Amino acid sequence: MKLSRFEVLSEEDVKQIHEATLDILADCGVKVLNRRMLEFLAGKGLSVDLEKQIVRFSKASIEDALSKVPKTFDVYDREGKFVFTLGDGTPRIAAGHNAVFWVDSETGETRPSRVSDVETFARICDKLENIDVLGIPVMPQDVPNPRATLIHAVKACVENSTKPIYFSTDKPDVNRACIELVRAAFKGDMSSQVYGMSQLSPTSPLFWEESVCEALEDTVKMGVPLAILPEPNAGVSAPYTLAGLLTMNNAECLSGIVISQLIQPGAKVLYANSWTTTDMRTGAALVGSIETSICRIAGAQLAKFYQVPCHTTAPNSDNHAHDEQNSWEKTFSQLCSIAAGNDLIVNCGMFATGMTCSNEQLIMDDEITAMCRRLVQGISVTRDTIAVDLIKQIGPQGEGYLTAEHTFTHLRSGEHLIPRLAVRGPYASWKSAGAKDTYEIAKEWARKLGADVTTPLDSDRRAKLEEILNSFNS
């Protein structure tokens, strides 16, 4: 039996949040700072105040939009091979994304990120079995044109990994260039197959920036699945209470879903969240607090209520070191995200409130994810796994379990997780192997897995990527 899905909201709780959201969207509405989008929405029958730039959403418009959102969609790798169905009940894990700083593997110092960091990160992701999607890990700081930083990073990712790509930017021209890069790298047909997914965010409280509206329209029309990801901050841009934070996120997310479906009925969208709580002693925005993990469970419940695929961020930590706090915050956030049934979970390899990446953190997060997945898998109870015949055969005080055929049959069945990093065994063995801590072991694995490209991109597609990058910079 699998672990029961985590829940923190009752049916009545979900209903109250939903009804409060309908009230907010119908009475208060959201601000849209894009004249063209306002006129479009007015033409689609929404209540629009052009002078105040306010759009109000009726209950009918929300229900109609939700009815059109695909409940699942297939995802393919760079070579056009089917890899998974998003929304089928199995949480998918992504590395990255969009940090700024990097922990240098050689010096241990935190520094501005480089394109070469993205290349190595992508090569490691390509070999990690618990990473399903490659999010863009950082905005590399060593590129000649600062506006092209994400474009360089997307190019580095698709050249060094075949895994599906996840990216985001609020700049329309950069967004279009990224989509073109993904299209050029993909061996399949992006008009009917999903290889890249994007993310765009309203701004809390309750408004959409002009450029984000333009990027949203482009993304939806180009057929790229879009995560509508609000980022309300409890006590700063949303109520301090968790129920209020959830309601703000819900209103902002549903507004984006309605807009996307009015632009393109049936557009693939995800109900997403990246809320933060606030440490009122310091003013710090937190992504690793236990309250954000409670909300990760609640967010998944709301998405399931709307029958829309969902995305959240994890594993997250607010600490700047690879230490115990980092570990417990990441484990709680990842376990809650997976056990709640979020469909896409993004942030492996990141820490320091999402500002910093490291290859070592990526390796550790892969192991945390493996443990969380194993926990959620639960226990398979069958006559074979109960092994009643074997127990009776060996009997009281008997021997033979170690060499039994039953043991060999189940040795590599996935019954027991075989960790890559965990230290097991006596002190003397650990000491004789160099007394390495988890970070040192992760560093060795990162060096090994990131050494070379095992899935290089062919010269024709590489040339096309270079052409797109040069065209943007010209």
Q: Answer yes or no: are the C-beta atoms of 169 and 150 closer than 8 Å.
A: yes
Q: Within a domain: residue 303?
A: yes
Query: Which whole number is the average pLDDT over 319-326?
Result: 94
Q: Which pLDDT band, with edges at 50, 70 and 90, does 13 fall under?
A: very high
352: pLDDT strictly greater than 90: yes
Query: Smallest Cα–Cα separation from 137: which of 105, 111, 115, 159?
Result: 115
Q: Which pLDDT band, with edges at 50, 70 and 90, does 453 fall under?
A: confident
Residues of the domain holding 130:
67-377
Q: Within a domain: residue 253?
A: yes
- pLDDT score of 452: 87
Q: At 131, which CATH number? A: 3.20.20.480
Q: Within a domain: residue 120?
A: yes
Q: What is the mean pLDDT of the chain?
A: 96
1: pLDDT strictly greater than 90: no
Q: Within a domain: residue 278?
A: yes
Q: Can you give the C-alpha Rg of the chain in angstroms?
A: 23
Structural domain count of the chain: 1
Q: Within a domain: residue 450?
A: no
- pLDDT score of 473: 87
Q: Within a domain: residue 383?
A: no
* Tokens standing for residue 152: 């360089």
Q: Summarize pLDDT for 125-168 with one digit per residue, the tens.
A: 999 999 999 999 999 999 999 999 999 999 999 999 999 999 99
Burial 21-46 (b: 16+ CB within 10 A, else e): bbebbeeebbbbebeebbebbeeeeb
Percentage of the chain beyond pLDDT 90 is 97
Residue 228, φ and ψ in degrees, nearest 5: -85, 105
- pLDDT score of 454: 86
Which residue type is seen at 44?
K
- Sign (positive or negative) of CA dihedral 397, 401, 404, 406: positive
120: pLDDT strictly greater than 80: yes
Q: Within a domain: residue 281?
A: yes
Q: Summarize pLDDT for 372-422 with one digit per residue, the tens.
A: 999 999 999 999 999 999 999 999 999 999 999 999 999 989 899 999 999
- pLDDT score of 125: 98
Q: Within a domain: residue 4?
A: no
223: pLDDT strictly greater than 80: yes
95: which strand partners? 134, 348
442: which strand partners? none
